[in-house]
Chains A and B, each alone.
Chain A
Amino acid sequence: DIQMTQTPSTLSASVGDRVTITCRASQSISRWLAWYQQKPGEAPKLLIYKASSLESEVPSRFSGSGSGTEFTLTISSLQPDDFATYYCQQYNTYPYTFGQGTKLEIK
């Protein structure tokens, strides 16, 4: 199985900060990577697909990059609504696998 490793596991930041979350795959997944946002008690929400394509109606402050084994999710200027847990997911190879999550907390 392809292992997805996210860093950091927890990130403390302030409104207005620029933050980056990294996701590494244990083998190449080309650009078949998605990012999801999940708030407590809610289902995940798709933010980014194919590594860098922004899902419809997702604010442009979210961006993704990378290919192969290393990927990043960047939030250019944190807003109060962005404090949540973020997951990456590879959908290149079965079984599809997720990273362990990055919890973005208010500093």
Chain B
Amino acid sequence: EVQLVESGGGLVQPGGSLRLSCAASGFTFSSYWMSWVRQAPGKGLEWVANIKQDGSEKYYVDSVKGRFTISRDNAKNSLYLQMNSLRAGDTAVYYCARTGGGVVGLVEYWGQGTLVTVSS
């Protein structure tokens, strides 16, 4: 059974940093593109970033470029999102997501999410 378990969310002040982690199990982690998708409270879904199987390609939505960094450790079956210079607009539930087989942008499995709140 595919499982994605996020951690690292919490309350942070504007301008602060936070690192999210996602522990993956139930599939061969190193074989799949992985993504982060977020959802502001009461709002819709927003794709944030994704990373290729070997980490050689990474893509971001414009609003987080230069502030967020996606990374992975295939030996630990883990995905990460380093978030710097956080803003109130980054407040959201952040979902770790696994892509569908062979299709980069299709999210087949989702974690339960971790809430990030940016507030003073």
Contacts and interface: CB of A to CB of B under 8 A. Distances in A.
Given A44-B45, A49-B100, A89-B45, A95 B61 contact: yes
- Secondary structure at the B interface, as helix, strand, loop or mixed, is strand
B45 A46 contact: no
Chain B interface size, as a band, is: 20 to 34
- Secondary structure at the A interface, as helix, strand, loop or mixed, is loop
B107 interface: yes
Interface residues of A, number: 25
Contact of B44 (A43, A55, A98): A98
Interface string B15-58: 00000000000000000000000000000111100000000000
Nearest to A45: B110
**Minimum-distance CB pairs A-B, first 3:** A91-B105, A43-B110, A96-B47
20 contacts: A38-B45, A43-B111, A43-B112, A44-B110, A45-B110, A46-B100, A46-B106, A46-B107, A46-B108, A49-B100, A49-B106, A87-B45, A89-B47, A90-B105, A91-B104, A95-B59, A95-B60, A95-B61, A98-B47, A101-B44
